[in-house]
A and B are shown apart, each in its own frame.
Chain A
Amino acid sequence: MKQLVLKSLAILALVAAIDFCVGAVSRFVCTHLSDKLSQIGTIQQTLLRKTGDVLVLGASCAKYHYDPRILSDSLGLSVQNCGVAGMNMIYSDLVMQAYLERCHPHCVVIDVYGQLDPNEGRLSRIKPFYGISRPVTAYFNSEVGWQQRLKLCSRLYRYNGTLDLFLRHLLNEPNTTNGFAAKPALVSRMDTVVVSHLQLDTAKVRHFQNVVSLCRRHEIDLVMVLSPRRYHDIEQEAWIVEQSRRYGIPLINELHESLYYSEDSLFFDDSHLSGRGAALFSCRVASQLKSFLSNSRKGTR
């Protein structure tokens, strides 16, 4: 029995030692990533480093649709695209909080569609920033169960799955550092599909409301955008329109603009635009954004 206890303790000590070493190395890598458009690179930049006058929040639609160069040329402000594919409203809220600790943006553009779905998505990819980014740490400490928090004590768990993210970051070409990625054009024909089955995750709705109230408190202009898509849920659209009315948030609705649907090559797949589609979209959003911003300036003056 004594042997068994001693051996168990030895295994525990070894695991703790490896845990500590791997954790220290991974933490160093996580905070010292170069500027590249890889997934972990983008998360690191948006959570820890970048600043901008205009922020674009959202998931893949944000990342693939908003070209900051076009927006920036038109608005005369610095623009940062914070979209990460597969993320959700919780991430947008955390990014918002992280930015407010570093700078004071004038305007936040948020691509809401699909961000309030119950599915978990890739939110676990922010685990490596537990203990590094304050909003991320606060989120895990207050909103996840005790089991998850217990697991987070292990650095191996925290950095679980980062190895291939680091490798992908290493292999990724240095790219634009404004967070935008253009997708290639679609090859086959695609029809528009309209469905109706809205499911909302209450936690994510709460985070959406938090973004809204953060913008109010810091006097930041908040604008919601509905990107064009070939597969869309009318209930979700209705919900977004309702939120815009309820909180008085301007909404740029590009969902029904026929320009996008005239050519298949403007789409990459049923819910994302191609690079050409993104250019058109960015131009249209930029001009509408400009008028909103000038109106709101007039209003405040």
Chain B
Amino acid sequence: MVVNSINFWLFFAIVLIPYFLFFKRKEGQNLWLLAASYIFYGWADWKILPLLVAVTGVFYALGLAIERHNHSRPRLASQLTTVGVVLGIGILFYFKYFGFFVEEMSALFAAFGLPHCSRTLNIVMPIGISFFTFKLMGYVIEVHRESIRPTRDVVEFATFIAFFPTILSGPIDRASTFLPQLGQRRRFSESDFTEGLKRVLWGMFLKMCIADVISPWTDAVFGNYAHHNATTILVAAVLYLLQLYTDFCGFSEMAIGVAQVMGLRVAENFNRPFMAKNVAEYWRRWHISLTTWITDYVFMPLNVGLRHWGKWGLYVATLVNLVVIGIWHGANWTYFWFGVYHGLLLVATTALDKPRKRFEKRHRLKDNELYAWSRRLLTFTLFAFGSVLFRSASVHDFLGTLSRIPHGFGPLYSEEFSTIVVYALPSIAILFLREWSAEYRRNVHFLHARRTWVRLFSIALLICYILYCGQLEGQSFIYFQF
């Protein structure tokens, strides 16, 4: 059930009306929300629902136990935290990486002529597992670090984990910001309601007018790369990065918006990544809820632990950080190399930081717009290149795709490209106009204009635009597979 479907809105209406009208206390609201979330998740994958309920119970108990022993028996508290992290990673490993691991091992055994089993395991990965296990692990670590106090209300905790707008594909929320909100009764607020719906509308625009319009064409190119020339491959790389952004940002906007309608603030996930001037900044603006999670729980401990190695400690931590982000996406060597690629870029960015600043000072480039835009272009290009690796089904396919580039330029693959020219390009222009104006704080408002009639007109026009130009036959989201 995706947000851009009639079924979802029926479901949401059924959830929302009693949520505000009948439940006058937070306990009732939380219980109702939890029931709705379990039904929602069960709808997507009912077989995994018992697992979700069970791990929720285990982590709830772990949280309480860690707090009890944090001061009296710090060693036990550390061990309990380790149990939580190992359990979280174990679940993730079993469903996401075990099949791949076994296959790679048997291939390795076969290469050395050792006995091996060639049977492939068919473990179906439950949807959303990468998102909720991260929430669970973050919770116990935070309790151990004493940055939050564990909740005693099991319904509250389960609602935080299974919260239906975010369970399938994030944003990965933090207990420190989300649990306190569940600790209070939510009242209907007109501004939350309208702002939430506007974000949903914007998310639909991103998803249906850009991502889904582009995807048939990029699928055709990458699915058949051997038949395409350099022009087509390069255009496809650029379009695929835009597709990836609008697909995932579109989903996040819808999730955040739906939560806001219910009076709940969810973590932000994107902050205009294409306005980033270097790779480090890009990563701070892209899939923020994941990158901050990994920064807090992987990068920082490593970095602190390796602090006496000087800058090499930082480089190692950076590389590991990005490789973890890469393989979080799935069991495939392409994601591993995607992480290595970005890790090296980030190390280079960090190493060149001081010389760059000196260069900028010497040439007084701080407020030079041309310089800023060429940096943005460079960053975008580096990410577009990385996105080809991300898109490829295997490293072999990636190298195959790259090997098409020296074959020379030629006419662009034009089958169905007219849909991109007619629908995607104007939509991309609208997207960039909005992001550019927000970045430079210019007063180009669409949905947030000060005059009421301008605002109403923009909303009506955007709805009509989506209906007339959007790709309405619902397609799945890229990040559902992670």
Chain A residues in contact with chain B, CB under 8 A?
1, 3-4, 7, 10-11, 14-15, 18-19, 22, 120, 124, 147, 150-151, 154, 156-157, 159-161, 163-164, 167-168
- In addition to A124-B473, A159-B468, A164-B422, 19 A-B residue pairs with Cβ atoms within 8 Å of each other are A4-B190, A11-B460, A15-B460, A18-B464, A19-B467, A22-B464, A147-B6, A151-B6, A154-B467, A156-B464, A157-B467, A160-B469, A161-B423, A161-B469, A161-B471, A163-B422, A163-B423, A164-B421, A167-B418
Give Cα A1–Cα B341 distance, bound, in whole angstroms.
Answer: 53
Residue numbers in A under 8 Å from B6 (CB-CB): 147, 150-151
Chain B residues packing against A (C-beta within 8 Å): 6-7, 190, 193-194, 418-419, 421-423, 452, 456-457, 459-461, 463-464, 467-473
In the complex, 16 of the A-B residue pairs with CB atoms within 8 angstroms, ordered by the A residue number, are A4-B190, A4-B194, A11-B459, A14-B456, A15-B463, A15-B464, A18-B460, A18-B464, A120-B473, A156-B464, A160-B472, A163-B422, A164-B418, A164-B422, A167-B418, A168-B418
CB distance from B449 to the nearest CB of A (A): 13
B332 to chain A, nearest CB (A): 26
Q: Do the beta carbons of A1 and B460 come within 8 Å of each other? A: no
Which residues of the partner chain A approach B470 to less than 8 Å between Cβ atoms?
Answer: 160
B467 closest partner in A (C-beta): A156
- Who on chain A is nearest to B197 by CB? A8
| Most chain A CB within a 10 A radius of its CB, from B194, B418, B467 | B467
Contact A18 B461 (CB under 8 A): yes
Interface centre among A150, A163, A164 (most CB of B within 10 A): A164
The CA-CA distance from A278 to B472 in the complex, in Å, is 36
Given contacts A4-B194, A11-B459, contact A164 B464 (CB under 8 A): no
B425 to nearest A CB, angstroms?
11
B464/A1 in contact, CB under 8 A: no
Contacts of A159 in B (CB 8 A): 468
Q: B421 contacts which chain A residues (CB < 8 A)?
A: 164
* B residues less than 8 Å from A156 (CB atoms): 464, 467-468
A270 to chain B, nearest CB (A): 12
A14 touches B472 (CB 8 A): no
**Are A160 and B422 in contact, with the CB atoms below 8 A?**
no
Q: Which of A1, A15, A18 contacts B190 (CB 8 A)?
A: A1
User: Complex formed: what's the CA distance from A156 to B470 in Å?
Assistant: 10
Complex Cα spacing A1 to B470, Å: 31
Question: Complex formed: what's the CA distance from A261 to B404 in Å?
Answer: 29
- The 4 A-B residue pairs with the shortest CB-CB distance in the complex, in nearest-first order: A14-B460, A156-B467, A164-B422, A156-B468
Q: Is the CB of A167 within 8 A of B422?
A: yes
What residues of chain B lie closer than 8 Å to A147, measured between beta carbons?
6-7
How many residue pairs between the two chains, A and B, have CB atoms under 8 Å in the bound complex?
A: 61
Please, how many angstroms separate the alpha-carbon atoms of A7 and B418 in the complex? 37
Minimum CB distance partner of B7 in chain A = A147
Contacts of B194 in A (CB 8 A): 4, 7
A7 touches B456 (CB 8 A): yes
Using Cβ atoms and an 8 Å threshold, which residues of chain B touch A167? 418, 422
User: Shortest Cβ distance from A22 into chain B, in angstroms?
Assistant: 6
Please indicate the chain B residues that have their CB under 8 angstroms from the CB of A150 in the complex. Answer: 6
What is the CB-to-nearest-CB distance from B365 to chain A, in angstroms, rounded to a whole number? 42
Smallest distance from the beta carbon of B410 to chain A beta carbons, Å? Answer: 13
Question: Across the interface, which residues of B come within 8 angstroms of A4, CB to CB?
Answer: 190, 193-194
CB-nearest residue of chain B relative to A12?
B460
Shortest beta-carbon distance, A83 to chain B, in Å?
Answer: 18
A10 CB → nearest B CB, Å: 5
Residues of B within 8 A of A161 (CB): 419, 423, 469, 471
Nearest chain B CB to A184's CB is how many angstroms away?
Answer: 13
The docked-state distance in angstroms from the alpha carbon of A4 to that of B452 is 12
In the bound complex, how far is the Cα of B466 from the Cα of A15, in angstroms? 11
Say whether B456 contacts A11, CB under 8 Å. yes
Cα distance A15–B461 in the bound complex, in angstroms: 7
What CA separation (Å) do A217 and B469 show in the bound complex?
A: 42
Shortest B257–chain A CB gap in Å is: 16
| Residues of A close to B460: CB separation below 8 A | 11, 14-15, 18
Q: Is the CB of B469 within 8 A of A163?
A: yes
Residues of A within 8 A of B193 (CB): 4
Q: How long is the Cα–Cα vector from A168 to B452 in the complex, in angstroms?
A: 38
Complex: A3 Cα to B467 Cα, angstroms: 26
Which residue from B418, B456, B468 sits with its C-beta under 8 Å from A10? B456
* B468 partner residues in chain A, CB cutoff 8 A: 22, 156, 159-160, 163
Q: Which of B456, B457, B460, B469 has the most chain A CB atoms closer than 10 A to its own CB?
A: B460
Residue of B nearest to A162 (CB): B468
Chain B residues, Cβ within 8 Å of A7: 194, 452, 456
Interchain nearest-CB distance for A165 vs B (Å): 9
B460 to chain A, nearest CB (A): 4
B35 to nearest A CB, angstroms? 25
Which residue of chain B has its CB nearest to the CB of A10?
A: B456
- Bound: A195/B475 CA distance, A: 28
Within the complex, the shortest CB–CB distance from A266 to chain B, in Å, comes to 20
Residues on B with C-beta less than 8 A from A10 are 456
Nearest residue, chain B, Cβ from A22:
B468
A152, B423: Cα distance in complex, Å: 21
Alpha-carbon distance A19/B468, docked complex (angstroms): 9
**A3–B193 Cα gap in the complex (Å)?**
13
Chain B hits for A168, CB < 8 A: 418
Complex CA–CA separation, A151 to B9 (angstroms) = 14
* Across-interface contacts of B461 in A (CB, < 8 A): 18
A269 and B52 CA atoms in complex are apart in Å by: 49
A161–B469 Cα distance when bound, in Å, is 6
A163 to B473, CA, bound (A): 17
Q: Give min CB distance, A96 to chain B, whole Å.
A: 26
Question: Which residues from A are CB-within-8-Å of B456?
Answer: 7, 10-11, 14
